[in-house]
Amino acid sequence: MTKSGVTSDDVAKLAKVSQSAVSRAFTDGASISEETRNRVQAAARELGYRPNALARAMTSGRSRLIALLAAYLDNQFYPVVLEELSRSLQSRGYHVLLFMTEPGKQDEVVQRILQYQVDGIVMASATLSSRLAAECARTGIPIVQLNRYVASSPASSVTSDNIEGGSLVADLLARAGHQRIAYIAGAEDSSTNRDREAGFYKGLAQHGMTVFARAVGGYKFDGAAAAARTLMAADNRPDAVFVANDHMAFAVMDVLRAEFGLRIPDDISVVGYDDVPEAAWQGYALTTVSQEPRQMIEATVSILLEQIEQQSVRSRAAVIPARLVVRQTARLPD
């Protein structure tokens, strides 16, 4: 018998178990004793058997594949999300397919994704039209927008409490005695930037203050560096700056130190948003707002799998509390 002709029935006969036991032995999380699993896998190795995931998907009607659609990964928050999402889904017997897109081409990529018979879709740093989201809902494919939301979309969403996060930053900087507090915005059309900025302005207003200056970095490293140069070129410079995410905050800190010779936080305070792993590095030690990515991923996976299992797609919104992480780049209140 050739290796390519080996079937699960052959494995079952050699291991002296049922064919269903062979199937369970190769299904993550399936109910089967360790002794039986070991016996089945030993027989499979002896025969050179490998389960055919595509054939099993056709039989069961489920691919156990989740598509992750991202517009970019240069923001350090998204590699963390990709790892956490993959690990969480794998522990539940699902796997992630990563697709990259460009602004304005999300719908086109989603149409291609659907050809893979995925069980669900996660949109990270990307959004899709309400029309296509509704089409996916009609065909029973749940979509979760991670770190984004569109109020009119039938897709579900999981976000940090960006309004509260922005308010926390404003409160910290105001109570520390700053008088000229600037803001460097991310992408103007994103819900994350809109809500962080709204929360920041709300927090300043509670202290009788308004934003001193504003520039746009567009969630880009080079864009943030240019925004920092614009703010610092003014005769009356800011004494603190809230940057809409950590990726941009690193660029801002580099410019302030290397090009303007400023000490952080002695001369100027800098606060970011996300709490990516690099924010804790000694060279940055960035004060920032944590999005609690593990909680965001668990909420995402919970929404996806619940709707897959129940075969019922409906819009849900999960908002994860934001948490201020104080390190060394912002002056503290007395």
Tally the C-alpha atoms within 13 A of residue 14's C-alpha that lie toward its C-beta: 19
Tell which CATH classification among 3.30.450.20, 3.40.50.2300, 3.20.20.70, 3.40.630.30 matches the domain 162-291: 3.40.50.2300
Per-residue confidence (pLDDT) for residue 164, from 0 to 100: 98
Q: What is the pLDDT of residue 29?
A: 66
Check residue 4 and give its pLDDT: 55
Q: In the predicted model, is pLDDT for residue 315 greater than 70? A: yes
Task: Say which CATH superfamily domain 60-160+293-320 falls into.
Answer: Response regulator (3.40.50.2300)
- Banded model confidence at residue 1, pLDDT cuts 50, 70, 90: very low
| CA 220 to chain CA mean position, Å | 17
Contact status, residue 119 vs residue 139, Cβ threshold 8 Å: no
Nearest to 193 by CA among 147, 225, 237, 157: 147
pLDDT tens-digit series, residues 59-88:
555 778 999 988 888 889 999 999 999 999
Every domain of the chain with CATH number 1.10.260.40 lies at 3-51
- The reply to whether CATH 1.10.260.40 applies to domain 3-51 is yes
pLDDT at 195 over 70: yes
Query: How many Cβ atoms from other residues are within 10 Å of residue 317's Cβ?
Result: 14
Go through 234-267 and write b for each residue having 16 or more CB atoms within 10 A of its CB, e for each that does not.
eeebbbbbbbbbbbbbbbbbbbbeeeeebebbee
Q: How many CB atoms lie within 10 A of CB 170?
A: 26
Structure tokens at 41: 């896998």
List C-alpha distances in Å: 30 to 13, 23, 108.
20, 9, 36
Please, where in the chain does CATH 3.40.50.2300 lie? 60-160+293-320, 162-291
Give pLDDT tens digits for 122-177.
988 777 777 778 888 888 889 999 998 888 788 899 999 999 999 999 999 999 99
> Where does the pLDDT of residue 270 fall: very low under 50, low under 70, confident under 90, or very high at 90 and above?
very high
User: Model's pTM, two decimal places?
Assistant: 0.82
Residue 239 is which amino acid? D
Q: What is the largest CA-CA distance in the chain?
A: 83
Decide: residue 104, CB within 10 A, 0-12 exposed, 13-18 middle, 19+ buried.
exposed
